[in-house]
Amino acid sequence: MKIHKTLKQEGRSLSFEFFVPRDGQGEAGLDKAIATLGKFQPTFVSITQQSSVPNSLESTKRVVIYIKDNTLLEPMPHLTCVEQNESQLRETLENYRALGIENILALRGDPYPKAGEFCPPAGGFRHAKSLVKLASSIGGFSVGVAVYPEGHTESPNLDMDMSYVKEKVDAGSDFAITQMFFQNSYFYDFMERVRSKNIKIPIIAGIMPAVPISRVKRFSQRCGVTLPENVARSMEQAGNSKEDAEKVAIELAIRQCEDLLHNGIRYFHFFTMNQSDVVVKILNNLSAITD
Ligand code: FAD
């Protein structure tokens, strides 16, 4: 199943991002997330490739194969340019294709922890568009890319940021998933810029439940994502109670999705952080997405 085709045919989608666990407790969380969130029959599930995870490529592949062999879900691996050069990336893509994987999220990737700025391996790619081009030239994949409603932190300005998105589309990407955002106006303004560049690929809204707030604050700061005053205040008012913080985060995510639905948005991707209970509680209140 090619994601871009399903998106266009169905006109709506629900999908989940899972991350690759680092220990036994994490494995249990992932198993639970696959089992519980799988019941919502998502269009696809995506599996991260993080340079902070030892043996990141093999770890991602292991989860992808597990999902493919043991569930009815459509797994989409994230593939980054951090560790592999062009010929290694080609081999990986051919290997994924041989495994029956039809969808790839083509990313430049986050640099190694503490590495500072991104530095490609010798013979590697500096930008995701080169990986998009490679995957498209190999063929057989629907190729997704990352986009940033508030602009990527390294982009000089929003116009240039959108020009680079256009380059990824021209290189062959056929759908995109946004970075998280907590203020929908950033997403609506981004969609205006998308339209002004005549970009026609489906754009999936990336939704991150704001819990635990300490991690979300850290992520937001690192990724240049605005955490609006009202969100931070509501979360802080919840105090140290995990239960109260979850309740607030769930309520905020429901309100965010309701507003998106009200404004005609139909493609939703949840950054689950493998916290399935929170995502289930959000989705149980959003029948327009799940029915
Ligand atoms: P690119 O599109 O290459 O952009 C990187 C920077 O280069 C941007 O500032 C862009 O404006 C600039 N740029 C692009 N083209 C040019 C050009 N021609 N000339 C000059 N500058 C240019 N990271 C991971 O490590 N693992 C993951 O699994 C992962 N999953 C993600 C999933 C989603 C949905 C999103 C939104 C992000 C994800 N990331 C992940 C984070 C992502 O890898 C980082 O944000 C990374 O810094 C940029 O990746 P990119 O693919 O957007 O890169």
CB of 108 within 6 A of ligand 1: the answer is: yes
Within 13 Å, how many C-alpha atoms sit on residue 279's CB side? 30
Residue 113 has pLDDT above 80, yes or no: no
CA–CA–CA angle 43, 46, 50 (5° rounding): 170
60-98 pLDDT, tens per residue?
999 999 999 999 999 999 999 999 999 999 999 999 999
Return d(Cα 281, Cα 248) in angstroms, integer: 12
C-alpha 147 – ligand 1 centre gap (Å): 8
257-272 pLDDT, tens per residue?
999 999 999 999 999 9
Residue 143 bridge partners (DSSP): 104
pLDDT at position 68: 97
Main-chain dihedrals φ then ψ at residue 248, nearest 5 degrees: -65, -45
CB of 146 within 6 A of ligand 1: the answer is: yes
C-alpha 244 – ligand 1 centre gap (Å): 34
CB of 48 within 6 A of ligand 1: the answer is: yes
CA–CA distances in Å: residue 125 to residues 61, 83, 130:
21, 10, 6
Tell if the pTM clears 0.85, that is, is over it.
yes
Please tell me the class of the 3-290 domain. alpha beta
Ligand 1: atom nearest CA of 271 is 34
Return d(Cα 73, Cα 61) in angstroms, integer: 15
CA–CA distances in Å: residue 216 to residues 119, 237, 289:
26, 16, 24
> Where along the chain do its domains lie?
3-290
pLDDT at position 65: 97
Among 108, 175, 187, the mutation site with the greatest number of ligand 1 atoms within 8 A of its Cβ is 108
| Nearest protein CA to atom 42 of ligand 1, as residue | 109
CB of 107 within 6 A of ligand 1: the answer is: yes
CB of 206 within 6 A of ligand 1: the answer is: yes
pLDDT at position 214: 86
